[in-house]
Amino acid sequence: MTHDFFKDLKPIQYEGPDSNSSLAFRHYNPDEIILGKRLEEHLRFAVAYWHSFAWEGGDPFGGLTFERPWHPQDNIKNAYLKADVAFDMFSILGQPYFCFHDADVRPDQGNFPDNLATLNEITDYFLDKMKNQKTKLLWGTANMFSHRRWMAGASTNPDPDIFAFAAATVKSCMDVTQKLGGENYVLWGGREGYETLLNTDLEKELDQMGRFLSMVVDYKHKIGFPGMILVEPKPQEPSKHQYDFDVATCIGFLRKYNLENDVKINIEQGHAILAGHSFEHEIALAVSEGMLGSIDMNRNDYQSGWDTDQFPNNTPEVALAYYHIIKGGGFQTGGTNFDAKLRRQSIDAEDLIAAHVGAMDVFDSLRRRRVFGEGERFRRRRTRTFDQRYHGSDEENVRYDERKLVRGANHELASGVCTNDEFSFDGGVEESGERVFVERV
């Protein structure tokens, strides 16, 4: 340990389901082999630097509650101290990854050259630490929403100087992400949106955002960054309306600007809820379109209408979501980032560790094959009429035969079966004496 913040906490171990300790894993055993792979490699957990170390416990009604030794965060000395404590925590928790924004790790000195110099300095310090412990970087990103310069947006800002500032900022963050071997680069556009349509030209702003993202992709190729570029949807907050509303909107946007091969999606549970979707809906859609990148695994309180960024604590919800991820072939460059914060009265150092340990244990469901087996059975059963009649009997390798489908539909129409309002036609499959109907869509 480089600092006494965590006192004598020892690295967290797997103790099994009978353990009473909140500082031991009861269900998450990183070395357990599930579906041919270590659990740690399936889940690829990451700690978010911002909520764990930069957030001071404030909410809209009150300021900091945490009073950490590295506060105030306006000087480089405390940035070093914060880095020491962060990497101490990573070695206690043992999670494989972390994520950070530029603004989390260096003080803000109000101008680009000084901020760049301290960003480079601190990330060199990270690099040294990463040589001595196993923690890797899942993704880097730029905070282009907190400072007052971003009040009217970053890439969609009407001031060209701010657009240029945003471009330089992302370049600097991609450079340090590459230096640290980051596996992805994320863009979340909290201020890329609008407050009122009375002063906003949607077409112009979306083109500007498309141009910006194309520059990011060009730069990725220029420097040979091997990682994936990810965008993170969120429907609103802080903007009244954000352009990256949800997975479907992002896919449409990426296709419009021909970016769908270079950019994938980072899905956050809380943002899915804010958009009026379930988390698994967003994941299943991204998987089915080949667009799943990574996960921010922080949930919202269903009674609050904002991003509460809680650690996951709902086992069935996680089971349904990760069923789709595993079914889709699992993470490639992505992982499970806890973009989650403590409750503001959880001020003890060990709460930081206990919150992550509890969250990691919630992924228990992955160890239950039944979830996966049954999910598949139900899904196949729903489409079996189509599969058997039009796709052939090989369910693993279905091929859609449109001509056959049209011929079938014509036959049904001609034979007058299609008269019922409730059912568009009689599916006609006899199976153990049971008639199967296809519901009208």
Catalogue the active-site residues.
101, 104
Residues paired with 104 in a beta bridge: none
Nearer to ligand XLS, 12 or 291 (CB): 291
The CB-of-252 to ligand XLS minimum distance in angstroms stands at 21
Backbone dihedral angles phi then psi of residue 299, each to the nearest 5 degrees: -105, 160
Nearer to Ni ion, 276 or 392 (CB): 276
The CB-of-77 to Ni ion minimum distance in angstroms stands at 29
**By beta-carbon distance, which residue lies closest to ligand XLS?**
188
Q: Which contiguous run of DSSP H or E holds residue 430?
A: strand 423-431
The site partner of 242 among ligand XLS, Ni ion, none (C-beta below 5 to 8 Å per kind) is none
The CB-of-342 to ligand XLS minimum distance in angstroms stands at 15
User: Vertex 181, ends 354 and 351: CA angle to 5°?
Assistant: 10
Of residues 339, 341, 366, 390, which one binds Ni ion by CB under 5 A?
A: 339
Site string for Ni ion, 277-306 (x = CB under 5 A): -------------------x----------
Contact residues: ligand XLS, CB under 6 A:
101, 141, 186, 188, 232, 234, 268, 296, 307, 339
Q: Give one word for 13, left, alpha or beta, with left for phi > 0 and alpha for psi -120 to 50.
A: beta
Q: Count how many Cα atoms sit within 13 Å of the Cα of residue 317 in the half-sphere of its side chain.
A: 20
Region 54-73 residues binding Ni ion, contact defined as CB under 5 A: none
The CB-of-188 to ligand XLS minimum distance in angstroms stands at 4
For residue 146, give every residue at least 6 positions away whose Cβ sits within 8 Å of its Cβ, in sequence order, or none: 103
Region 303-332 residues binding Ni ion, contact defined as CB under 5 A: 307
Six-digit token pair at 135? 């923690």
The site partner of 282 among Ni ion, ligand XLS, none (C-beta below 5 to 8 Å per kind) is none
The site partner of 104 among Ni ion, ligand XLS, none (C-beta below 5 to 8 Å per kind) is none
By C-alpha distance, which of 32, 12, 34 is closest to 23? 12
CB 26 within 8 A of CB 315: no
Nearer to ligand XLS, 86 or 92 (CB): 86
Measured distance CA(16)–CA(26) in Å, rounded: 4
Six-digit token pair at 439? 């519901």
The site partner of 141 among Ni ion, ligand XLS, none (C-beta below 5 to 8 Å per kind) is ligand XLS
CA 109 to chain centre: 30
The CB-of-298 to ligand XLS minimum distance in angstroms stands at 8
Residues paired with 47 in a beta bridge: 98, 338
The site partner of 205 among ligand XLS, Ni ion, none (C-beta below 5 to 8 Å per kind) is none
CB 44 within 8 A of CB 389: no
Interface ranges with Ni ion (CB under 5 A): 268, 296, 307, 339
